[in-house]
Structure formats: structure tokens, C-alpha cells
Amino acid sequence: MAEDEIDEVPKLPPDARLGSLDERLDRLRRQEAERTDKAQGDAGARAGRLVVNQLIGGPLGGAIVGWLLDRWFGTAPWLMLTLMFVGFAGGFINVIRISNRPRGDTPDGQK
């Protein structure tokens, strides 16, 4: 009879500490999910700002450099127009690169 008593596992009441631990883990998982969702939304906004910067900055930078070179060489408006179109092309190429990146990747390596 002593062997039967040893093999039998006594039924214990649920431990309050385990219940508390489960509740805290659930709360932390929800907070992490919210934080992750928020970070992904921020990554989309960063990518959008980057696209706008490329589409405006490329042509504008090319036009300014071309205008300065036109004044220096006296070839107005040809260098300005040429470099502005080169800026457009560079901006569109960069936008294509941005759109082909895996979701959540940023140019500075942060996620």
C-alpha cells in the first residue's frame, strides 16, 4: 500500500503566483504587439518622406547646380535643364530602389 501512495500525485490547488505571471505575460505580449504595429506604421511614414525628398531634392539640386554652372560658363539654360532632368532620373531611380526594399527596412539600417 505504501507504493500506491508514492505513485499517486497529489492534486494541488492552482497557484496564485502562476495566474499572476500568466496575466503579466499576456499584458506584456499585448504591449509588444502594439509597439511593433506602431513601429511598422512609422517605417511607412519614413519611406513616404524619403520618396518625397528624392522626387523634390533631385531635380531641385540639379537645377541649382546647373544654374550655377550656366552662369560660370555662360551656357544658359542648357546645363540647368540637363542637370535638372538628370536629377529627375536619379530621383525616380531612388524611388524604385525604395519601393523594392523589404518592408520595414530603412536606409540607415534601423527597423
The per-residue pLDDT of the chain, averaged, comes to 83
Q: From CA 87, how far away is CA 94, in angstroms rounded? A: 10
Helix (H, G, I), strand (E, B) or coil at 107: coil
Q: From CA 62, how far away is CA 51, in angstroms rounded? A: 17
- Report the helix count and the strand count for the chain, using DSSP H and E: 3, 0
Report pLDDT digits (tens) over 45-80.
Answer: 888 899 999 999 999 999 999 999 999 999 989 999
Query: pTM score, two decimals?
Result: 0.56
The pLDDT value recorded for residue 37 is 73
